[in-house]
Structure 1
Amino acid sequence: MKNFLYFIALLSGCCATAQYEIVYNLEKGKSYPQNQVVTSEQHQVINGMPQDITTIITTESDYVVTDIKDEIYYLDIVVKKMSTETKSPMGTEIISSDGPESNAMNTIFKNMIKEPIKMTMNKHGEILSFDNSAQIEGLTDDVEMPQMQLLQVEAALKKEMSIEKQTSNYEQLTTILPKDKVAIGDSWNQTITVNSIAAFEATSSFQLKEVNEESYIISSNAILKTPDDASTSLNGMKASYTLSGPSSGTYTIDKKTGWITTASLRQELEGDIIIEKSEMMPQEMKMTMKTETTTIIN
């Protein structure tokens, strides 16, 4: 009888599945680095003419925990360095925050990282507030550029740096953690906002793949598809678009802090963009596009 009960207890122990609460556990006063390299390869065919563009965006950032109140983290995102390299049939252009000031865009990038971004989030990574106003202020200080061109560049940058767009971009990395305890093999879903030609929502599925002594390994998958009858404005011209494709990724999460230590993400989009005829565009223009974007985090 004793052996039988022991066997039942052993069997129950083997069948029990370990549950893990994966949340942020950051410390006040500490800094958590996150460096990213985003490579986007864009293949376009415009009115039958092919055109390839490769863009590499590199950022080095520290997330500094300035305070913790009621399980809410107050963070300063300090961007230490940022650069963009664009390769096209016209040649290669490099813009860098530590590049020579003879390039006006280098000065703008340098201005962009003078002040930190202020952000609050809960232990699940949901962003509660986001303030990059200090980053935008003084964007064109000491920039030598024709006034009309300067205004156009400033307007384009401020559009890309809007609170809504920046919040959704950061949330794609902060809100990957599950809201409930999970076991190996369990899955959960998150709604993400994809900022491509225009912003649209998609559902990403995450799964706890592996647990070791130091890390959680999480995978993600999604099928991206723009809404029906989606449209946007490109340089003041109305454009409709149909884009779709898969997205996948693997994240290594530190067990103690919940912080991403490394990640590798891949996103593909393919489809058509049609710019409607107007006073600026006398004929309708069709653009076939395929974009492959990889993001490496360390």
Structure 2
Amino acid sequence: MKKTFTLLLLLITVSSYAQKVKLELKLQKDSTYYLTMNAKMDIDQFIQGTHQIVKTTITGKMAHKVVAVQDTIYDMDVIYKNLAMNMEIGGKAMSFDSEGDTSNIFSKVMKNLTGKSFTIVMSKRGQIVAVKNTEHLFENMFKGFPPIDEQKKAQLLTQFQQSFGAKTIKGNLQESFVIFPKTAIGVKSVWTNQTNMEAAAISAKTKTTFTLDNITDDNYEISGTAIIMPDKAPAYKNTNNFFMRLLNVAGTNTTKIKIDKKTGWITQSTVAKHIKGDVELKKTLEEPVMITYPMVIDANMETTGKN
């Protein structure tokens, strides 16, 4: 009897590991799917013998409404429901919140960014194909502002476009979503994908190895490890009246994700990233490089898909 029971358990275990599943998004037209993000990033710049550290936390809730389904592609209208940012620079802390006191000029900017629709195009395999119409986010960004000179206004616009522009949104979302394999897989199956990362003055490619760790009643549990490598030389970006870019990019990325079995949508995602490189700084694009210094970026992003 004991041997029979042991054999039965073994057969059940082998059967569960042999089960093949097709991982993909199964979203419904006119349905809305939510993501709540909490992204923390520490930047350490070692300039002329001194560590200059900038700590940033961005939180927000996004609503994704599926407006069209075309073969293997979803078109989604997306809005930020709320946004907040906390920054610490040189020991000074600043906080901005779309739900907070909008007498704070930056909180007013956050408020003005919410409720504006832009478009995300995503494949059923979880690939972010395109992010479009993000210029709508910045329409009337300065509505209700006190008088502000045009140079300062342009500077603020550039900074917020770097944090909430199409490339940054695409990169952050792609790190949260798994690009699923093309074929059905079983528990402990492994697959590899390569993506490009472009944000601010960084251009890199990321090679990620994913593993289907477990299948529960409600979720697929997936882990990933990635290597970040240099891509093409990035263009210089205007930041606080200087032009900068990050070269010799290298780093690692680890991911833990739970995917809803019915929809393929994220239930929970955690991404930890470590990147290092060398910053080149110029006063103008025509002038030679003023200074080169090392930069280290440590980032952690937690995403949940609950309403």
**Counterpart pick for 2:182 among 171, 179, 196:** 179
Look up the SS of the partner of 1:105 in the other structure.
Answer: helix
**Counterpart pick for 2:271 among 240, 265, 276:** 265
Partner of 1:84: 85
One-letter identity of the residue aligned with 2:131 = F
Structure 2: runs of 5 or more not aligned: 1-6
Partner of 1:130: 131
Look up the SS of the partner of 1:153 in the other structure.
Answer: helix
User: Do 1:241 and 1:274's aligned partners in 2 also have CA atoms closer than 8 Å?
Assistant: yes
Q: Does 1:17 align with 2:23?
A: no
Partner of 1:48: 49
In the alignment, the residues of structure 2 paired with residue 149 and residue 260 of structure 1 have an alpha-carbon distance, to the nearest angstrom, of 39
| C-alpha deviation, 1:127, in angstroms | 3.5
Partner of 1:4: none
Partner of 2:3: none
One-letter identity of the residue aligned with 2:236 = T
Look up the SS of the partner of 1:258 in the other structure.
Answer: coil
One-letter identity of the residue aligned with 1:205 = T
Look up the SS of the partner of 1:169 in the other structure.
Answer: helix
Partner of 1:3: none
Residues 139-186 of structure 1: CA deviation (Å, up to 9, x unaligned):
222222332201221234335544344334333334532222111122
Look up the SS of the partner of 2:213 in the other structure.
Answer: strand
Q: Does 1:199 align with 2:203?
A: yes
- Report percent identity of matched pairs: 20
One-letter identity of the residue aligned with 1:204 = T
One-letter identity of the residue aligned with 1:153 = L
Question: Which sits farther off after the overlay, 255-264 or 29-38?
Answer: 29-38
One-letter identity of the residue aligned with 2:176 = L
Structure 1: runs of 5 or more not aligned: 1-6
User: Do 1:176 and 1:206's aligned partners in 2 also have CA atoms closer than 8 Å?
Assistant: no
One-letter identity of the residue aligned with 2:210 = F
In the alignment, the residues of structure 2 paired with residue 196 and residue 164 of structure 1 have an alpha-carbon distance, to the nearest angstrom, of 8
Which one has the largest radius of gyration?
Answer: 1
One-letter identity of the residue aligned with 2:137 = Q
| C-alpha deviation, 1:239, in angstroms | 4.8
Q: Does 1:155 align with 2:158?
A: yes
Look up the SS of the partner of 1:114 in the other structure.
Answer: coil
Partner of 1:105: 106
In the alignment, the residues of structure 1 paired with residue 234 and residue 154 of structure 2 have an alpha-carbon distance, to the nearest angstrom, of 28
| C-alpha deviation, 1:25, in angstroms | 1.1
TM-score by length of 2: 0.82
Look up the SS of the partner of 2:236 in the other structure.
Answer: strand
Partner of 2:122: 121
CA gap of 1:278–1:255, structure 2 versus 1, over 3 A, is closer
Aligned residues: 289
User: Do 1:172 and 1:193's aligned partners in 2 also have CA atoms closer than 8 Å?
Assistant: no
| C-alpha deviation, 1:296, in angstroms | 0.8
- Give the superposed CA RMSD: 3.0
**Map 1:55-70 → 2, pairs under 5 A:** 55-70=56-71
Q: Does 1:190 align with 2:196?
A: no
| C-alpha deviation, 1:91, in angstroms | 0.6
Question: Which sits farther off after the overlay, 231-240 or 129-138?
Answer: 231-240
In the alignment, the residues of structure 2 paired with residue 32 and residue 290 of structure 1 have an alpha-carbon distance, to the nearest angstrom, of 34
